Amino acid sequence: MRVAHNIASLNSLNKLNERNKAVDSSMEKLTSGLRINNASDDAAGLGISEKMRAQIRGLEQSQRNIQDGISLLQTAEGALGEIINPNLQRMRELSIQAANDTLTVHDREVIQREMDEVLHSINNIANNTEFNTTKVLRPPLVEKPPTITSGKADIVFIVDVSGSMGTTIDNVRDNIDDFVNKLDDNDLDYNLGLVGYSDVNDGEPLLKWDFTESGSNFKDNLVQLRSDMMGGGDYFESGLEGISDPTKGGLSFPFRDSSSKQFVLVTDAPVHDDADGDGGDGLSSYDIDSVANELFEKDIKLTVVGTTSGEAEDQLRRLSDSTGGSYFNIRGEFSEQLSTYADTVVEDAEVIEEDEVLPIHLQVGANTEDIFTINLFDARTENLGLSDVKVDPFEEAMKALQKVDSALELASGHRSKFGAYQNALEHTGKNVSNALIQLTDAESQIRDANMAKEIMNQLKHSIMSQASQAMLAQANSKPQAVLQLLK
């Protein structure tokens, strides 16, 4: 028996301290609702949980970002819808009204005034529509030095197939390689078309060959044209009216958005101006002004390689000059003429890259790569192609109608794009919500306390603590047995 050290008491005290600490830990978990309150509770679990919490908070913020993006798009789409209807629709209505020769000059002046007011209304909407001070229909630009790049060109050789043209057609074929090489050297994206025509405007449709990107294929087409010409046949008989209208047997261009549409009329015959439609007098016959207007309205430049001088040249120049094209002497050096013309085609097809509209970037996820980009639209009249709309005279009214139709197509396309953006953001938002729920559930299982289990643990440790206190009292009473020996 020993009295200097009460080992039983020390053991009981140590166990009591452990039980009290366990009780305190259970009470802390019950109070906070968390299984991990300190790093010591679960070091690995804490690290995993904190990473998940960062993702959760990022997803919660991205949800708000998505809602802000949807609100911006709804603002832009609503304003653009207001530009389309009633403004652009009213402009189209006014253009149709003005394209009527029952109106007087004064009538068209009244229409023009309303047209100008509608244009002013469009600019007001575009300039003043904002979301959180961001102009959504007049977005900021990123300024950069202007650069010039090669564009696209559809080039059609329209060849007179009268009997005297054989040598000229051979000349075209022999010099076309240098022409094509010059286009290739300037990185021009082009298509070459070929059309044969002859005397009258009431014959069969134009004889056409498919567009080709190959100079050798084009030369083969010329050979076939030469062969067909030698064989004769009235299928060549056609005038040039409707040449750019596919519904009338004319041409359909491969590049619908071509920056350059070029016709090259090759003929050694004078032209009979068949404005009265009497069919001509055996010469090449078509309504010169009608053909010129048709090409001009469709932004097609007609270059003529024609007769030398006199009335024939004057008539052919009416075609080339009216469309902004050139005139070459058919008896000149064809190689040099084609080289000069190639330079013109390349220059006309050049695209000047202007300042770009700054896009809107949305952070729609918890990580750096989760970016959604919205390309805004400049809806001001200049960008819509409506900066100079006139309704007098009749021809201007028709041009105004074409411009308004193009503006409607452009604005409607971007309005649809805004709707597509909104749908995409809504789908992204649903995905973010689902990821947030699942990640929150996973983090909860790591971090949150199981309350039923902790209550059970707290009760167990509390009972054991009380038992330890009782045993400590018993252990403290053991040394008193030594006193019995001293009696």
**Domain spans, the chain:** 56-139+360-434, 147-352
Asked if pLDDT for residue 465 goes beyond 60, the answer is: yes
Whole-angstrom distance, CA of residue 448 vs CA of residue 84: 55
The domain 147-352: what is its CATH number?
3.40.50.410
pLDDT value at residue 269: 67
| 56-139+360-434 and 147-352 in the same fold | no
CB 411 within 8 A of CB 77: no
Q: pLDDT band at 231, cuts 50/70/90?
A: low
Candidates 3.20.20.150, 2.40.220.10, 1.20.1330.10, 3.40.50.2300; correct CATH number of 56-139+360-434? 1.20.1330.10
pLDDT value at residue 75: 96
pTM of the complete model: 0.54
Q: Give CA separation, 355 vs 119, 358, 359, 451, in Å.
A: 23, 9, 12, 62
Q: Each residue of 377-391: pLDDT tens digit?
A: 999 998 899 988 999
CA–centroid distance for 71 within its chain: 20
CB 122 within 8 A of CB 380: yes
Asked if pLDDT for residue 369 goes beyond 70, the answer is: yes
Asked if pLDDT for residue 235 goes beyond 50, the answer is: no
Mean pLDDT, rounded, of the chain: 83
Q: Which two tokens stand for residue 222?
A: 């010329």
Q: Each residue of 120-171: pLDDT tens digit?
A: 999 999 999 999 988 999 877 665 565 666 788 889 988 887 777 777 788 8
Between 175 and 235, where is the model more confident?
A: 175
Q: Is 221 exposed, middle or buried (0-12, 13-18, 19+ CB in 10 A)?
A: buried
Between 56 and 294, where is the model more confident?
A: 56
Q: Each residue of 303-357: pLDDT tens digit?
A: 888 766 677 778 788 878 888 888 887 777 777 888 888 888 888 887 655 556 7
CB 237 within 8 A of CB 200: yes
The DSSP output letter for 285 is: E
